[in-house]
Amino acid sequence: MGQVKYVFVTGGVTSSLGKGIISASLGKLLSARGLRVTIQKFDPYINIDPGTLNPYEHGECYVTEDGAETDLDLGHYERFLAENTSQKNNVTTGRIYNNVITKEREGEYLGKTVQVIPHITDEIKRSFIALGYTGNYDVIITEIGGSVGDIESLPFIEAMRQTKWELGHENCIVIHLTLIPYLKAVGELKTKPTQHSVKKLLESGIQPDILVCRSERAINTEIRKKLALFCNVPINSVISSIDAKTIYDVPLLMRKEKLDERVLELFNLPIGEEPGLVYWKEFLTKLKNPVHEIKIALVGKYIDLHDAYKSIAEGFIHAGASNECKVNINWVSSEDIESENVAEILGEHDGILIAPGFGERGVEGKITAAKYARENKIPFFGICLGLQVAIIEFGRNVLGLKNAASTETDPQTKEPIIDLMEEQKKITKKGGTMRLGAYPCTLKEGTKVFEAYGSSEISERHRHRYEFNNEYLEKFENKGMLAAGVNPDSNLVEIMELKNHPWYVGTQFHPEYKSRVVEPHPLFSGFIKAAINHKNKKK
């Protein structure tokens, strides 16, 4: 295909309408028709990336192969499309300004006053189309964070207007996702907020090409007609997006509404055959008709916002479906766990997952949970900090190293069993400075992880500063805690696994970032199988 086609997705009325899921669903449908698609997100905040944000601010920080710390919507894009994203797929206002200010200092605009228009908008436009120059894509979908009318997203909206004008309507379209609220008192769906948000876009010179209308109830022909008339779009461009049972229903719902066909028509592209989506449908059938059911304790400290552990939760959905198993997650606050109550809190579970995390808060509770899983032979999965606490626990209670700790929480400890990586010792800056992105790992034959992956060479994504201190490795292995996966270049321990336990695995990397609908993660799958066995044994 010649000209790259651009789709912008904006949001109106409120935030949290699911622009990410609509973008991912459209991407899925177009790629199922053979187009090469990628999705990018432009966020209006000033942080250069979300890497320095507390998860309670903005949910999970998702990490790409190339080590970009990104918005969690990129996780949806990868899970739906089964395609990697990169640093270029997530751009913030902060990054745009940073680029422009760097250029200003380098003298690129010598003699000129540097202004929002044209310098900031030009930089945004360049970033909008940057992936188009790779030659890797036919369609680029760009999700604009926030809602239309927000002061901070104005430069993005203006850059979008200019891009549409420059590329022409047949190469660039705007989909506006909006809310149609249902007023119980009068028993009616209301179109007025949508009319206002479309007017807001029109004030900025943008006529949306398609409206995707999120609602609790189905919108009938009358409402579609009204929206079409007042928002200037043909009636077949009013797409209904009714609340779905699972986000994975949305591609099929959008297919039913012919969102993909409308996009192709507007781009003057052939519609072709209807995509089969065979695997997707099989996945949904398994997801909705489980044979098994298990209860997993997810022990973390940001449990009040489930988005903080989004990829882990989705990893359970993918691997759960492939094992025909409904995975119920019980969100447990690590700060509530103490030796006296651990049995009461965790006793009823079929598996215990200890989540990633930073800092001191809640660490002792996680250590207690790891001990409980080890001693009671409950399937255990530790991710990043989850592995580190399992190591500390084993050091203290099996090897008798009473002072075993991580220098992250106890910088003066006499037993720095988890310590800052050598390459991290000189780093003082915070943003983007962790060990980030994909690294290779070699698995030991005969281990459970080797069996799960079915291969000895793997690659997984990382986000951490601290590591297992190899000086202690021999002691650990002598007592049955094995380095089951090691980085072949640096010798860093990436996976530890306990012998003589049904399934006790901790990974320094984040397997959850690579779980996809069409490719459930082998470790999530292995953990779920072990939890099903554990449950069956209890019966």
Q: Taking a C-beta distance cutoff of 8 angstroms, is the pair 502, 351 a contact? A: no
In angstroms, the CA 228 to CA 242 distance is: 18
Q: Please say which residue, 182 or 358, places its beta carbon nearer to ligand GLN.
A: 358
Shortest reach from residue 91's CB to ligand GLN, in Å: 23
Question: 349 an active-site residue?
Answer: no
CA distance 189 to 170: 32
H or E segment and range at residue 43: strand 37-43
What is the chain's percent helix, strand, coil content, to nearest 5? 40, 25, 35
Which two tokens mark 394? 């084993």
The minimum distance between CB 69 and ligand GLN, in angstroms, equals 11
Is 510 catalytic? The answer is yes
Could you say which of 60, 314, 494, 512 is catalytic?
512
Annotated catalytic residue within 384, 460, 501, 534: 384
158 versus 467: smaller Cβ distance to ligand GLN: 467
Q: Which is nearer to ligand GLN, 60 or 143 (CB)?
A: 60
Q: Which of residues 27 and 356 has its CB atom nearest to ligand GLN in the complex?
A: 356
Mark whether 158 is an active-site residue. Answer: no
Q: How far is the CB of 496 from ligand GLN (least distance, A)?
A: 14
Q: Which stretch binds ligand GLN (CB under 6 A): 15-23, 25-33, 88-96, 462-470?
A: 462-470
Q: Which is nearer to ligand GLN, 159 or 354 (CB)?
A: 354
Tokens of 329: 């997650």
Shortest reach from residue 233's CB to ligand GLN, in Å: 44
Alpha helix ranges (H) inside 350-479:
363-375, 385-397, 448-453, 473-478
Burial of 323 from C-beta contacts in 10 A (0-12 / 13-18 / 19+): buried
Question: 68 in the Ramachandran plot: left (φ > 0), alpha (ψ -120 to 50) or beta?
Answer: beta
Instruction: Using the CB atoms, write b or e for 346-370: b if 16+ within 10 Å.
Output: beebbbbbbbbbbeeebbbbbbbbb
Residues in contact with ligand GLN, counted by CB under 6 A, come to a total of 10
Closest separation in Å from C-beta 380 to ligand GLN:
16
In this structure, the strands spanning 493-498 and 481-486 are: antiparallel
| Stretch 327-386 residues interacting with ligand GLN (CB under 6 A) | 356-358, 384-385
Stretch that binds ligand GLN, among 86-94, 178-186, 299-307, 458-466 (CB under 6 A): 458-466
Minimum distance from residue 357 beta carbon to ligand GLN (Å)? 5
Nearer to ligand GLN, 69 or 209 (CB): 69
Q: Which residue number, 207 or 413, has a Cβ lying nearer to ligand GLN?
A: 413
Q: What's the rounded Cα separation, in Å, for the pair 422 and 182?
A: 57
Give me the least distance between CB of 462 and ligand GLN, in Å please: 8
Footprint of ligand GLN on 464-503 (CB under 6 A): 464-466
**Based on CB atoms, which residue is closest to ligand GLN, 95 or 464?**
464
Shortest distance, position 502 Cβ to ligand GLN, whole Å: 24
- Which region among 253-261, 280-288, 341-349, 460-468 touches ligand GLN (by CB under 6 A)? 460-468
Which residue from 28, 176, 463, 521 is in contact with ligand GLN, where contact means CB under 6 A?
Answer: 463
Q: Which residue's CB is nearer to ligand GLN, number 176 or number 464?
A: 464
CA distance 306 to 14: 20
- Distance separating alpha carbons of residues 392 and 398, to the nearest angstrom: 10
Stretch that binds ligand GLN, among 124-132, 252-260, 341-349, 461-469 (CB under 6 A): 461-469
Q: Which of residues 388-417 bind ligand GLN (CB under 6 A)?
A: 408
CB of 409 to ligand GLN, least distance (A): 9
CB atoms within 10 A of CB 189: 19
* Those residues with Cβ within 8 angstroms of residue 316's Cβ, 6 or more apart along the chain or in another chain: 296, 327, 329, 524, 528
Torsion angle of the four alpha carbons 383, 518, 349, 467, in this order, in degrees rounded to the nearest 10:
-10
Scan residues 126-165 and list those touching ligand GLN (CB under 6 A): none
Of 318, 464, 510, 521, which is the active-site residue? 510
Per-residue interface string for the shown chain with ligand GLN, residues 272-291, x marking contact by CB under 6 A: --------------------
Nearest CA to 487 out of 522, 454, 460, 526 is that of 460
> Is the bond preceding 270 in cis, omega lying within 30 degrees of 0?
no
Active site residues: 384, 510, 512
**Interacting residue ranges for ligand GLN, rule: CB under 6 A:** 356-358, 384-385, 408, 463-466
